[in-house]
Chains A and B, each alone.
Chain A
């Protein structure tokens, strides 16, 4: 019995290859006389020149092809030849699933619908969990907090394709913007990264029966994280059984790939599901598991040649093949312009046939069909509801609007006393609870020298911590005593600036500074300490303490020059909002061991351990509640002779205390792509693009809504390209000139680093 022709689509082979060629090689291995037709939407799809294809079917790109007509073409070809079609892309398989063609060997529409990523109910099908995730259609601050709470070990993903690791807020926004441009208006989500080993299972199923599965461990990966070499073995029996139940429930037909991460405890975490064979499928065939062969055999009833395993390990090669005479290379590149240079045809990792456009067309069709049912619901989801605390914090502005008749002078900062007090109260209560050692919170003056906040610091028993003598003098003006102050910064302390006053502790940021401080008589502080650079980091701050020579140099200065009547202290600071709490804690434990070793080598007991963290306001509260007491115990055990722990929470204390209120000067654009010009700018909000914040819109009636993400922008008032206060925000259709835009978390560096700009005054006149 002769095997009917088989059409195999998605044949591009770049750094992130499509599976077409691998499927073809596998089928040829199982059926050497088979007739295979490579189908793709671009002549740049390099795999079409593969010798494993007997014929090529080249169509128009997905972006402009007539989908109905193309469906007829597929049907006609399959009917004419009684052949089969194995789609090599998820999107094509998804599109075809709606039309339920029996000779198309891919999953049903029901299978697609039941497994939409991030597939949070994966545990109902497979022995795995889905990592925590957040839908990005929400308040930007919520997105930022999600990333911070996961230490920026997060992935930005689309429900059908593409995943990018993001590292910080500007990177997240830029990556998201890039993905939006590629994929259109897709529902992206942010997902926690699971640390572990990649485990991938390819499988083949026919009408709900699992035909075979191959288990692959990646051994070499490309920079894009794509497999280049791997080891393939039979799927473990228990996992095979679970996948069997999975395909049975979904009545799966076709190839598939399940991607997991296995963590240190052995837990499988679901990462991705592909609705077709993976690109490495021929690696499984080399290992004796010919999954495409099994699929064709199940569909046709014609047995495939069973191959012996050649090797359980495979690697990819780059080889040159002759270009097909029927599909020759395009004309040479041309010089477009001096700025754009030569228009070279670049090899893309994404299929050149325009799969993103197919995805957009599928999404648009889905949206239209679902729009009627969800219209009302969608309107409500555009904007987040405010919490009662937010409403209460912003109510004075509402009252002002009603009394000033929109003549409110903007921009200005709105200080909320209750918000300002809350973290002071929290940490002060904690400090009082600690009995075994003196526990002192410190207020970082540079974060915001607003006298209202410095007075609260005094009221709640905080030490004042400065990076300059002027800061310490300003703290003294509001009542802080010099003997309670901490000096900690890159500027060497000049005791003359303190007018003979002695402070509690001064930290040296360098070897040179340590030598100088140890030589000062009388000592400017009761304690002299060293700020240690976070271990194995490239921070510009602190003294590096890693090599034997580093330890010898520092310990020699301390042993020989630290005055007898001066206590020894250590300090470390690194940003929890960049690293996440778990990394912050392990870095801090490493710091404690560094300090312990220094203590051992110098025989000088450490009296003060000062730790700083750069937490966000939202992340500091759980840290203080859940981790700080245990850390305090660890410090006391490591340093039984220590007198005091100082903690400097940084922006966590004050960032939430102020809002920046601005006014809309102009509205631009149409539909959902509005942007507005605000009367605030980077001078008032200097870190506008560095972290996520909530943005509120208030109309002239005082009605407030919290904005969610979108494709709009809030532009600043000055003539700088980078003066963008919010990027990727959904602005209300009814936003008007003179409405207010209110930015949260403007109470820390946003306040202390703000400056005057664009008001016609020179720097000298302002100062």
Chain B
């Protein structure tokens, strides 16, 4: 686990008092979770679904320049079984945050825009986390929760040039950049995934909200 957490932040986790006390064990619990990938049956059932989604992405892109400001009108947020295939997505009315993020990446790719998976840990109240676990009772329960912390997936888009990024949250259809910095709904750790070496020239680092984040490892905020 430790090799997946930015070492510079390890001390920060260990010295955290109070609200972040459970972060280390949360990250340990979430280490098996990787960004959602949409599967395909390699047949027309999935090919047509994927084609429809890509085409619809281009339609929406003609109207709005935001990453995917339309998914909530098509799918509600909620529990979803895994793995998920394209032919299932077109029939679903409810998708989870990982699938919405994977679709956003697919949507941006359809209009020629590069984007990156983002994993994060957010803080809520323990009561609220218990509600999440109850919602997910038929899909594995609390595999993505720990005490008052939850695992969440979003999408990073390049903000201007260089290695500045913005984080788009398709579950709530807004940028996470202005989200609370502490307490309810705050982001306590973030991992930006880039296996394409897109940011190799920048020392495999991106800048988000003025902070330098190491790629592919957890950064504690």
| Contact residues in A for B162 (Cβ distance below 8 Å) | none
| Contact residues in B for A590 (Cβ distance below 8 Å) | 59-60, 62-63
Q: Does A551 contact B (CB under 8 A)?
A: yes
Q: Does B137 contact A (CB under 8 A)?
A: no
Which among A551, A592, A593 has the greatest number of chain B C-beta atoms within 10 A?
A: A593
> Distance (Å) between the CB of B129 and the closest chain A CB?
24
| Contact residues in B for A551 (Cβ distance below 8 Å) | 52
| Contact residues in A for B49 (Cβ distance below 8 Å) | 548
Give the distance in Å from the alpha carbon of A536 to the alpha carbon of B56 in the complex.
12
The answer to whether B52 touches A601, judged by C-beta atoms less than 8 angstroms apart, is: yes
The answer to whether B55 touches A600, judged by C-beta atoms less than 8 angstroms apart, is: yes
The answer to whether A586 touches B55, judged by C-beta atoms less than 8 angstroms apart, is: no
CB closest chain-B residue, reference A598:
B55
> Distance (Å) between the CB of B61 and the closest chain A CB?
8
The answer to whether B55 touches A593, judged by C-beta atoms less than 8 angstroms apart, is: yes
> Distance (Å) between the CB of B70 and the closest chain A CB?
8
CB closest chain-A residue, reference B61:
A593
The answer to whether A601 touches B48, judged by C-beta atoms less than 8 angstroms apart, is: yes
Chain B interface bracket (under 10, 10 to 19, 20 to 34, 35 or more): 10 to 19
Which B residues between 28 and 83 are near A, CB-CB below 8 angstroms?
Answer: 48-49, 51-52, 55-56, 58-63, 73-74
> Distance (Å) between the CB of A537 and the closest chain B CB?
11
Q: Does B158 contact A (CB under 8 A)?
A: no
Give the distance in Å from the alpha carbon of A586 to the alpha carbon of B58 in the complex.
12
Give the distance in Å from the alpha carbon of A167 to the alpha carbon of B184 in the complex.
39
> Distance (Å) between the CB of B202 and the closest chain A CB?
24
Give the distance in Å from the alpha carbon of A548 to the alpha carbon of B49 in the complex.
8
| Contact residues in A for B48 (Cβ distance below 8 Å) | 601
The answer to whether B51 touches A601, judged by C-beta atoms less than 8 angstroms apart, is: yes
Query: By DSSP majority rule, is chain B's interface helix, strand, loop, or mixed?
Result: helix
Give the distance in Å from the alpha carbon of A217 to the alpha carbon of B84 in the complex.
40
Give the distance in Å from the alpha carbon of A95 to the alpha carbon of B49 in the complex.
67
Give the distance in Å from the alpha carbon of A597 to the alpha carbon of B57 in the complex.
10
Q: Does B90 contact A (CB under 8 A)?
A: yes
Give the distance in Å from the alpha carbon of A554 to the alpha carbon of B7 in the complex.
56
The answer to whether B90 touches A548, judged by C-beta atoms less than 8 angstroms apart, is: yes
> Distance (Å) between the CB of A488 and the closest chain B CB?
22
Which among A589, A590, A601 has the greatest number of chain B C-beta atoms within 10 A?
A: A590
Q: Which of B51, B59, B90 contacts A535 (CB 8 A)?
A: B59
| Contact residues in A for B58 (Cβ distance below 8 Å) | 593, 596-597
Q: Does A300 contact B (CB under 8 A)?
A: no
The answer to whether B63 touches A535, judged by C-beta atoms less than 8 angstroms apart, is: yes
CB closest chain-B residue, reference A535:
B59
Give the distance in Å from the alpha carbon of A546 to the alpha carbon of B90 in the complex.
12
Q: Does A587 contact B (CB under 8 A)?
A: yes
CB closest chain-A residue, reference B55:
A597
User: Interface digits, B90-107 against A, CB 8 Å rule (1 contact, 0 not)?
Assistant: 110000000000000000
Q: Does A594 contact B (CB under 8 A)?
A: yes
Give the distance in Å from the alpha carbon of A596 to the alpha carbon of B61 in the complex.
14
Give the distance in Å from the alpha carbon of A548 to the alpha carbon of B90 in the complex.
6
> Distance (Å) between the CB of A587 and the closest chain B CB?
7
> Distance (Å) between the CB of B99 and the closest chain A CB?
15
CB closest chain-B residue, reference A589:
B62
Which among B58, B61, B74 has the greatest number of chain A C-beta atoms within 10 A?
A: B58
The answer to whether A597 touches B90, judged by C-beta atoms less than 8 angstroms apart, is: no
Give the distance in Å from the alpha carbon of A266 to the alpha carbon of B48 in the complex.
41
Which A residues between 524 and 564 are near B, CB-CB below 8 angstroms?
Answer: 535-536, 546-548, 551
| Contact residues in B for A546 (Cβ distance below 8 Å) | 56
Q: What is the count of residue pairs linking A and B with beta-carbon distances less than 8 angstroms?
A: 43
Which among A546, A548, A587, A601 has the greatest number of chain B C-beta atoms within 10 A?
A: A548
The answer to whether A597 touches B59, judged by C-beta atoms less than 8 angstroms apart, is: yes
CB closest chain-A residue, reference B54:
A597
Give the distance in Å from the alpha carbon of A596 to the alpha carbon of B62 in the complex.
13
Which A residues between 559 and 617 are near B, CB-CB below 8 angstroms?
Answer: 586-587, 589-590, 592-594, 596-597, 600-601
| Contact residues in A for B51 (Cβ distance below 8 Å) | 597, 600-601
> Distance (Å) between the CB of B161 and the closest chain A CB?
15
The answer to whether B63 touches A594, judged by C-beta atoms less than 8 angstroms apart, is: no
| Contact residues in A for B63 (Cβ distance below 8 Å) | 535-536, 586-587, 589-590
Give the distance in Å from the alpha carbon of A587 to the alpha carbon of B58 in the complex.
12
> Distance (Å) between the CB of A233 and the closest chain B CB?
12
| Contact residues in B for A547 (Cβ distance below 8 Å) | 74
The answer to whether B55 touches A596, judged by C-beta atoms less than 8 angstroms apart, is: yes
| Contact residues in A for B90 (Cβ distance below 8 Å) | 548
| Contact residues in B for A536 (Cβ distance below 8 Å) | 63, 73
| Contact residues in A for B62 (Cβ distance below 8 Å) | 586-587, 589-590, 592-593
> Distance (Å) between the CB of A519 and the closest chain B CB?
25
Give the distance in Å from the alpha carbon of A666 to the alpha carbon of B55 in the complex.
62
Give the distance in Å from the alpha carbon of A587 to the alpha carbon of B59 in the complex.
9
User: Interface digits, A655-688 against B, CB 8 Å rule (1 contact, 0 not)?
Assistant: 0000000000000000000000000000000000
CB closest chain-B residue, reference A217:
B178
Which among B48, B49, B73 has the greatest number of chain A C-beta atoms within 10 A?
A: B48
Give the distance in Å from the alpha carbon of A517 to the alpha carbon of B155 in the complex.
46
> Distance (Å) between the CB of B103 and the closest chain A CB?
13
| Contact residues in B for A589 (Cβ distance below 8 Å) | 62-63
Give the distance in Å from the alpha carbon of A592 to the alpha carbon of B55 in the complex.
11
User: Interface digits, A688-699 against B, CB 8 Å rule (1 contact, 0 not)?
Assistant: 000000000000
| Contact residues in B for A587 (Cβ distance below 8 Å) | 62-63
> Distance (Å) between the CB of A599 and the closest chain B CB?
10
| Contact residues in A for B60 (Cβ distance below 8 Å) | 590
Give the distance in Å from the alpha carbon of A547 to the alpha carbon of B61 in the complex.
16
> Distance (Å) between the CB of B44 and the closest chain A CB?
11
Give the distance in Å from the alpha carbon of A593 to the alpha carbon of B49 in the complex.
16
> Distance (Å) between the CB of B4 and the closest chain A CB?
34
Give the distance in Å from the alpha carbon of A529 to the alpha carbon of B55 in the complex.
20
| Contact residues in A for B55 (Cβ distance below 8 Å) | 593-594, 596-597, 600-601
Q: Which of A535, A548, A586, A592 contacts B52 (CB 8 A)?
A: A548
Which among B51, B59, B90 has the greatest number of chain A C-beta atoms within 10 A?
A: B59
Give the distance in Å from the alpha carbon of A600 to the alpha carbon of B48 in the complex.
10
| Contact residues in A for B61 (Cβ distance below 8 Å) | 593
Q: Which of A586, A592, A597 contacts B56 (CB 8 A)?
A: A597
Give the distance in Å from the alpha carbon of A430 to the alpha carbon of B127 in the complex.
67
Give the distance in Å from the alpha carbon of A62 to the alpha carbon of B143 in the complex.
66
| Contact residues in B for A592 (Cβ distance below 8 Å) | 62
Give the distance in Å from the alpha carbon of A547 to the alpha carbon of B92 in the complex.
11
Give the distance in Å from the alpha carbon of A547 to the alpha carbon of B49 in the complex.
11
Give the distance in Å from the alpha carbon of A577 to the alpha carbon of B91 in the complex.
38
Give the distance in Å from the alpha carbon of A548 to the alpha carbon of B48 in the complex.
9
The answer to whether A593 touches B52, judged by C-beta atoms less than 8 angstroms apart, is: no
| Contact residues in A for B52 (Cβ distance below 8 Å) | 548, 551, 597, 601
> Distance (Å) between the CB of B68 and the closest chain A CB?
14
| Contact residues in B for A596 (Cβ distance below 8 Å) | 55, 58
> Distance (Å) between the CB of B54 and the closest chain A CB?
8
> Distance (Å) between the CB of B122 and the closest chain A CB?
19
| Contact residues in A for B73 (Cβ distance below 8 Å) | 536
| Contact residues in B for A600 (Cβ distance below 8 Å) | 51, 55
CB closest chain-B residue, reference A313:
B180
> Distance (Å) between the CB of A609 and the closest chain B CB?
15
> Distance (Å) between the CB of B67 and the closest chain A CB?
15
CB closest chain-B residue, reference A585:
B62
CB closest chain-A residue, reference B48:
A601
Give the distance in Å from the alpha carbon of A592 to the alpha carbon of B62 in the complex.
9
CB closest chain-A residue, reference B70:
A536
> Distance (Å) between the CB of B217 and the closest chain A CB?
31
What are 17 A-to-B residue pairs whose CB atoms are below 8 Å? A547-B74, A548-B90, A551-B52, A586-B63, A587-B62, A587-B63, A589-B62, A590-B60, A593-B55, A593-B58, A593-B59, A594-B59, A596-B55, A597-B58, A601-B48, A601-B51, A601-B55
> Given A589-B62, A597-B52, 8 other A-B contacts at CB below 8 A?
A535-B63, A551-B52, A586-B62, A586-B63, A587-B62, A590-B60, A593-B59, A594-B55
Q: List 9 A-B pairs, minimum CB-CB distance, nearest first.
A: A597-B55, A589-B62, A590-B62, A548-B90, A593-B59, A593-B58, A590-B59, A548-B52, A586-B63
Using a CB–CB cutoff of 8 Å, the interface residues on chain A facing chain B are: 535-536, 546-548, 551, 586-587, 589-590, 592-594, 596-597, 600-601
